[in-house]
Amino acid sequence: MEGGVTVWGRLRARLTDPAALRGWAVDANDGVIATAGMLEGFAAAGASDSVLVLAATAATVAGALAMGGAKWAEESAERDAQLRLVAEESAEIAAHPEDEIVELTAYWERKGLSPDLARQVAEQLSRRDALAAQLESEHGIDEIMPASAPVWAGASSALAFVVGAAVPLLITLFVPVAIEAWLILLSVVAALVLTSIIAARATRLSLVRTLVRALVVGVGTLAISYLAGLVLF
């Protein structure tokens, strides 16, 4: 438990957050496309079942670690930037409290309040939480990212990648190599359709556009990988 928020509460918030759902769908798509693309290339080159299984496993592990690590680094950098702003604003409030109220007043005036009302709002917000008022008005930060957030983000991205990569990986394990390439292609299309529906509904975007983009990237990647396997080996 961190800051009064349970692990289940944080997970439930992520599951109901449209941006998080779309991010998971995108990461799962990456897992499907990257792993399937590698397999199509190896299959076109005439790789054996054992080589295909090894390639799929390596792609899944390496891809998940890379995806999770990149997301963790990105979120950690964002949190570091927020903490730097907190330190800077805290120092400015301590050194020049009146100047900060003047800045906050100007902010509310730009929002359409009269000078007198803007001043009252700025003073009341400053009395309640001067730092929070300044962070929100100057930097658009309404909540400081908790220390666990980068870890959660990295782990969830890695897990989403693994879920997507599991589709072609399982096919490689249980389907004869003679029909493997075609079945991987069909399964990739099905997986991309499913994740596109999730992403479009979560963010209220056009399903057709989301689906077309995903299929163009996914099928195009598989086709290029397959041709590369034929030409290079």
What span, in angstroms and rounded, lies between the C-alpha atoms of 225 and 16? 36
Every domain of the chain and the residues it spans:
18-232
138 neighbors 103 (Cβ within 8 angstroms): yes
Residues 96-116: b if buried by 16+ CB within 10 A, e if exposed: eeeebbebbbebbbeeebeee
Q: Which residue has the tokens 């592990």?
A: 61
Alpha helices (H) along the chain: 7-15, 18-44, 49-95, 97-110, 115-139, 149-174, 177-203, 207-232
Q: What is the pLDDT of residue 50?
A: 86
Opening angle at CA 146, ends 143 and 151, nearest 5: 135
What span, in angstroms and rounded, lies between the C-alpha atoms of 196 and 93? 46
Q: What is the pLDDT of residue 4?
A: 43
Q: What is the pLDDT of residue 1?
A: 41
Q: What is the pLDDT of residue 19?
A: 74
Two tokens, residue 208 = 């057709």
pLDDT by 10s per residue, the chain, length 233: 444 445 555 555 565 677 777 888 889 989 999 998 888 888 888 888 888 889 889 999 999 999 999 999 999 999 999 999 999 999 999 999 999 999 999 999 999 999 999 999 999 999 999 999 999 988 888 888 888 889 988 999 999 999 999 988 888 888 766 666 788 888 888 888 888 888 787 777 788 888 898 889 888 988 898 899 888 76
